[in-house]
Structure 1
């Protein structure tokens, strides 16, 4: 399962990637090195399904960082929640609607995601955080400029989305109607990241901006109200972040959404105290020094 259909111009290939397995007593967190570089963030005006919020395209310089190979799973969520005491937000050890230890945790609010990052940081002794929106798109694209890191279209053979709808020259496929286990599709991108398109929407750190007018050229969180440093060390910044009710960016589409919403450039927002059965996240941290 998961073999790309060459007739649909998929451009999936496996390259050598650097993986860090962080596994105290069975956590099983796999972090992939996302090498630094430049990319054009957003979509070109001619891209099918483009929304106004995806422009103007602008060049962004991203520093190397680590990003979870998969969205945080239910077993990883439970592992951390049951071992690290509450810091500021009470967390349900089993919030998900579609249960399965290897499925992504969902129904997670933004406030809960940053609490999880703070607890994970305590457990591991290393600072974890949500990725910035620029980091997320850069990692998703993995050097590609097409609508999906697979290529010009998407198939239910490689991603979990509402495949009753088609994109470009794609074909109608199988609709799962629920989440799938992370890595269910053998279709990682060139950074070794899986499930970047579909399965669950993924929280980013950034507050919502309706477009990229005035967006910075760095991969840092674009805020304008709070200093970007508050997103780097979540544990010491929780009180500020929890007092902020601005909508937050979410990326990647989900099992519930049509393919145009799963594009690398597509972006939307949700209020930070809402959690749905199509909303999850993955964690990031700074790259280790070499």
Structure 2
């Protein structure tokens, strides 16, 4: 092997070691801060939650928004009356295993988001976590609560604005993921401290699927009825094209769906 080839080899190894170190240590970004009164940490799993303030917003996408869908119409005002805690990231494989004792994820890694989880299995996790911590405060967010927290007091196409050229700074998507999930906390959070909210894995929410927002609740509660057996996922994933990585984006799922790009993020009521 020539000198230049040896140098190239060494630099390549250094690059991958640096990448691995950066990614594996990115979980430290979420390290608990005892002085941070706006963070709640689950005593049993270590899941960290950011405080989301009460407020109101315009839910859905306007007709002029690029890459929008009619599923995101009509735009309507929603008022979130009560503050709540939302997971700073999707539930990880380590956190899932601590409650459920198994890990069927496709992209293995303790600090990667758990995936291959159906909506019903997410509910099972929540029931067990509530029992273990002697509470009833953990649940999936409603679709409105999820979008409100994702937008973080913005009304642009993405919480960071309209400039797709900086998407890589915030989102794991098809263009930069390398066809896999990644350790939580590698990308920049949204203004309210939520990581991977528009990528890495899609996230289950509580609501039944509806083809549009006609008749949707205006108080931020989950829209549950018998109109459809399907549920909603939000947030996009490592498989998504950039046009899907938007605050208003939503997708229809069978409750029994288990996919390598589908996980969940927990809400904890105050």
User: What TM-score comes out, normalization by structure 2 length?
Assistant: 0.82
Which of these residues, 175, 178, 186, is aligned with residue 176 of structure 1? 178
Deviates more, 1:257-266 or 1:102-111: 257-266
2:184 touches 2:195 (CA, 8 Å); kept in 1?
A: yes
* Pairing of 1:71-220 with structure 2 (within 5 A): 71-82=90-101, 93-127=102-136, 128-154=138-164, 155-163=167-175, 174-185=176-187, 187-220=188-221
Aligned-partner Cα distance in 2 for 1:77–1:34: 23
Structure 2 unaligned blocks of 5 or more = 1-18, 23-35
Which of these residues, 232, 235, 250, is aligned with residue 252 of structure 1? 235
- Count of paired positions: 233
Matched, 1:44 2:62: yes
2:233 touches 2:250 (CA, 8 Å); kept in 1?
A: yes
Aligned-partner Cα distance in 2 for 1:36–1:55: 23
Q: Please identify which structure carries the higher helix content.
A: 2
User: How much has 1:224 moved relative to structure 2?
Assistant: 3.3
Aligned-partner Cα distance in 2 for 1:203–1:110: 7
Over 3 Å counting, the alpha-carbon distance change for 1:206 and 1:142 in structure 2 is: same
2:208 touches 2:225 (CA, 8 Å); kept in 1?
A: no
Over 3 Å counting, the alpha-carbon distance change for 1:121 and 1:78 in structure 2 is: same
Question: What are the Cα deviations for residues 225-268 of structure 1, in whole angstroms up to 9, with x where unaligned?
Answer: 49xxxxxxxxxxxxxxxxxx811000000000111212100111
User: How much has 1:74 moved relative to structure 2?
Assistant: 0.2
Tell me the residue number matched to 1:70.
89
User: How much has 1:23 moved relative to structure 2?
Assistant: 2.8
2:39 touches 2:50 (CA, 8 Å); kept in 1?
A: yes
Which of these residues, 64, 67, 71, is aligned with residue 53 of structure 1? 71
Aligned-partner Cα distance in 1 for 2:163–2:201: 19
Aligned-partner Cα distance in 1 for 2:74–2:105: 36
Tell me the residue number matched to 2:222.
221
Aligned-partner Cα distance in 1 for 2:104–2:190: 29
Aligned-partner Cα distance in 2 for 1:38–1:22: 27
RMSD: 1.8
> SS at 1:119's partner residue?
helix
Matched, 1:278 2:270: no
Aligned-partner Cα distance in 1 for 2:79–2:178: 37
